[in-house]
């Protein structure tokens, strides 16, 4: 609101834009308007116009006697939201005070403020109930950002806020809705889980904010005997260390057991295909698993896999076994593959039985690694394995037509104490091939026996030996 200088005895009309100056103390102001009847509206005011007696314009040179000054305190305005006949609710541009007079700019009605309550900046408290002034709908507050949005769950089944009414908590905090509330994140047909039971939302209008077991007019309990309603019959036996806050033992329906807390988070429980798992120190997998393939696994020191059974045709592939790890007492079905794996010093694969047509191939046995106690069915192969210095393949029993072929035994490596019913062919032996039993009808063929290699075998009759090269 503009400031005003009141006057009389003017010598003429003052010019808009000119500066008037008081003759006593030099107060100034720029003329915005002159009604010619004793009132100037001014801006850019300086000084104290209550001390001036006369003033003059710098453009018009007109003079006048100063009779008063209005500092132009801005009018208090507000937008009416609701008027119930005895009380109004409005959004003011600044706080009101008792005694202020409000005049409507449309109907001209005038009221005097008897009591002013300012709820600006107040927020609803989480957990308290709010009520709509028009609909009577109720809800319980879950969050309130204090400025533009709050979250609540309805507690008045079938009655919703109208989107424009006043809502209050009964303790002086008031808010006004400017739009319809958004719906709940759950919609009819959705299934929710409560206390291990499944419920389906059948009537969203009857949601009252309570749990599904209580809010029966909105939810239907889905029986476990019903099909396709989300239940999975399964169990998990776990042992939890409350001091360390860690699962230290877990077993599932597939017969997997993991001991040790470190490997638990990365184990793919219930997954029929084991891929890219990491077994850390002190973790182990044991007991039967008749479905899964093990692929791209890392076995860290002191972890092991034991007692597992793999179905026909699955893979035990791309496994890296660090020192101190062990795969033992496993049963591989027919046509399974143990391949592309690296067995480091101190690691071992032992007591493994395979079905027919299995292959142990393209593996690397590093210095001191052990592959032992393998019982292979008919037509199996141990091929293209690289057996490093001091690594050992021993106590292997090969079934009919099973072969050890195209392997490389470096100096100090050994294939020993094994029974070969099929053949030992196209191998490079720089280490030891000793104390093995080559059965009748087996083939010892096209091998290269290097200098300082040791070949000491028990050979049954009817063995075929051909094209073996001694270096």
pLDDT tens digits for 148-184? 788 887 888 778 888 878 888 877 777 777 777 776 6
Report whether pLDDT(72) > 80.
no
Report whether pLDDT(447) > 80.
yes
Tell me how far apart the alpha carbons of residues 9 and 242 are, in angstroms, rounded to a whole number.
95
Lowest-confidence region among 101-105, 188-192, 322-326, 353-357: 101-105
pLDDT band at 435 (very low <50, low <70, confident <90, very high): confident
Pairing of strands 381-383, 403-405: parallel
Q: Per the structure block, which two tokens stand in for 128?
A: 């308290």
| pLDDT value at residue 264 | 61
Lowest-confidence region among 236-250, 332-346, 390-404: 236-250
Lowest-confidence region among 68-82, 107-121, 209-223: 107-121
pLDDT tens digits for 450-465? 888 887 765 554 444 4
Report whether pLDDT(444) > 90.
no
Mean pLDDT of all residues in 407-417: 90
pLDDT band at 59 (very low <50, low <70, confident <90, very high): very high
Buried b (16+ CB within 10 A) or exposed e, 258-282: bbbbbbbeebeeeeeebeebbbbee
Tell me how far apart the alpha carbons of residues 159 and 435 are, in angstroms, rounded to a whole number.
89
| pLDDT value at residue 454 | 83
Tell me how far apart the alpha carbons of residues 20 and 415 are, in angstroms, rounded to a whole number.
115
Question: What are the backbone angles phi and psi of residue 303, rounded to the nearest 5°?
Answer: -95, 155
Count of all residues that appear for the chain in the document: 471
Mean pLDDT of all residues in 295-318: 77
Q: Rounded to two decimals, what is the model's pTM?
A: 0.45
Report whether pLDDT(288) > 60.
no
CA 442, 443, 449 angle in degrees (round to 5)? 130
Smallest CA-to-CA distance from 177 within 221, 133, 113, 223 is with 133
Q: Per the structure block, which two tokens stand in for 410?
A: 């470096």
Contact 65, 9 (CB under 8 A): yes
Rounding to the nearest 10 degrees, give the CA dihedral for residues 226, 230, 231, 237.
180
| pLDDT value at residue 306 | 75
Report whether pLDDT(28) > 90.
yes
Q: Which residues does 393 contact at the CB level (< 8 Å), separation at least 6?
A: 365, 371, 372, 374, 382, 385, 387, 414, 415, 416, 418
| pLDDT value at residue 370 | 92
Q: Which residues pair with 274 in a beta bridge?
A: 294
Buried b (16+ CB within 10 A) or exposed e, 345-354: bbbbbbbbbb
Report whether pLDDT(198) > 70.
yes
pLDDT band at 212 (very low <50, low <70, confident <90, very high): very high
Lowest-confidence region among 325-329, 376-380, 425-429, 440-444: 440-444
| pLDDT value at residue 277 | 56
**Higher-scoring residue by pLDDT: 439, 8:** 8
Q: What distances in angstroms separate CA 423 from CA 305, 383, 448, one per listed residue?
A: 30, 11, 14
| pLDDT value at residue 462 | 45
What is the chain's mean pLDDT, rounded? 81
Q: What percent of the chain has pLDDT over 90?
A: 25
| pLDDT value at residue 463 | 45
pLDDT band at 71 (very low <50, low <70, confident <90, very high): confident
| pLDDT value at residue 252 | 72
Mean pLDDT of all residues in 416-428: 87
């Amino acid at each position: 609101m503009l400031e005003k200088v009141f006057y009389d005895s003017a010598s003429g009309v003052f010019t808009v834009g000119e500066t008037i100056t008081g003759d006593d103390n030099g107060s100034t102001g720029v003329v915005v308007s002159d009604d010619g009847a004793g009132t100037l509206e001014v801006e850019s005011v300086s000084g104290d116009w209550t001390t001036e007696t006369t003033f003059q314009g710098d453009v018009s040179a007109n003079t006048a006697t100063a009779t008063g000054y209005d500092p132009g305190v801005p009018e208090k305005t507000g937008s009416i939201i609701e008027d119930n006949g005895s009380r109004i609710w409005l959004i003011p541009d600044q706080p009101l005070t008792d005694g202020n007079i409000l005049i409507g700019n449309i109907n001209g009605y005038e009221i005097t403020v008897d009591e002013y309550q300012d709820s600006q900046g107040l927020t609803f408290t989480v957990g308290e109930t709010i009520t709509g002034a028009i609909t009577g709908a109720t809800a319980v507050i879950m969050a309130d950002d204090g400025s533009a949005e709050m979250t609540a769950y309805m507690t008045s089944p079938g009655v919703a806020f109208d989107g424009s009414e006043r809502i209050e908590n009964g303790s002086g905090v008031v808010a006004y809705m400017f739009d319809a509330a958004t719906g709940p994140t759950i919609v009819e047909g959705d299934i929710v889980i409560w206390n291990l039971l499944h419920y389906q939302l059948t009537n969203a209008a009857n949601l009252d904010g309570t749990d599904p077991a209580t809010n029966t007019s909105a939810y239907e309990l889905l029986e476990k005997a019903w099909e396709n309603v989300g239940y999975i019959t399964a169990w998990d036996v776990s042992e939890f260390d409350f001091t360390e806050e860690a699962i230290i033992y877990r077993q599932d329906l597939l017969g997997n057991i993991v001991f040790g807390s470190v490997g638990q988070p990365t184990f793919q429980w219930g997954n029929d295909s084991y891929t890219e798992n990491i077994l850390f120190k002190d973790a182990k997998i044991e007991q039967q698993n008749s479905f899964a393939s093990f692929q791209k696994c890392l076995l860290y020191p002191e972890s092991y896999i034991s007692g597992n059974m793999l179905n026909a045709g699955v893979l035990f592939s791309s496994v890296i076994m660090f020192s101190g790890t062990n795969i033992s007492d496993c049963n591989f079905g027919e046509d399974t593959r143990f391949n592309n794996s690296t067995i480091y010093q101190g690691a071992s694969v032992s007591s493994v039985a395979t079905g027919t047509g299995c292959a142990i191939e393209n593996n690397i046995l590093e210095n001191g690694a052990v592959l032992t106690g393998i019982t292979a069915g008919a037509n199996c192969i141990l091929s293209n394995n690289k057996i490093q210095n001091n690594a050992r393949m021993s106590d292997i029993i090969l079934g009919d037509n099973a072969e050890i072929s195209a392997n490389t035994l470096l100096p100090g490596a050994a294939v020993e104490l094994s029974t070969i019913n099929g053949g030992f062919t196209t191998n490079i032996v720089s280490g030891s091939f000793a104390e093995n039993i080559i059965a009748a009808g087996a083939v010892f063929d096209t091998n290269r026996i290097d200098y300082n290699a040791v070949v000491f075998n028990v050979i049954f009759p009817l063995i075929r030996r051909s094209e073996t090269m001694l270096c």
